[in-house]
Structure formats: structure tokens, C-alpha cells
Amino acid sequence: MNLRDAQDLLCLIERFVNGGERVKSVAAEIESLVVECFQDETWFDETSEALALFVPGGTAPYVGESSLARRLSLVACELSSFLNEHGMLGGG
């Protein structure tokens, strides 16, 4: 995993999860970066599928804001751990 890509993805995820930008355009940016740079990660399949199925307000078979935010929060934890190990987050 590339440090810069991990930082960029974490920033986008935080915008979606914490920043109140739970919109298709932010999800599309996240999806683009995930597909381009993170195909070797253990969380890739589930995350890319959730992003592809994201529809604001969506219900089955689509993924809504809350479900995607929960999925992305798990990815954010992994990214934070990775960045912290490499001294790229405060406290690291």
C-alpha cells in the first residue's frame, strides 16, 4: 500500500463518514481510488462492491449511506493503523 494513496483515501473516507458528505460524488471518488490503487487489500472485494451498489437512500439490493459508512469505517481503521505504523498520523 502506498502511503500517499492511503492518506488520500483516508481523507475521502473521513469526508463521507464524518464530514456529512454522504453523496454519490464522494463515493465515486472513493471507488475510483480503491479500484485504481487498492486491489491487493483484503478489504477490496467487499468495499468495491459496496461502493458500486451505493445509492443515497438505497435499500436492498442497493447500499445506503449508513451501510456504506459502516463499511468505510472499517477500511479507515485499517488505513489509520497502516499510516500510524509509518509515522504518518499524529501519535505515530
Q: Give 66: exposed, middle or buried? Use CB within 10 Å, 0-12, 13-18, 19+.
A: exposed
d(CA 36, CA 4): 13
Asked if residue 8 has pLDDT above 90, the reply is yes
Angle, vertex CA 50, rays to CA 35 and CA 47, nearest 5: 50
Give the pTM: 0.91
One-letter identity of residue 3 = L
Any idea where the domains of the chain sit in the sequence?
A: 3-85
Strand partners, 54: 63
**pLDDT tens digits for 36-65?**
999 999 999 999 999 999 999 988 899 999
Categorize the per-residue pLDDT at 92 as very low, low, confident or very high, splitting at 50, 70 and 90: very low
d(CA 15, CA 21): 6
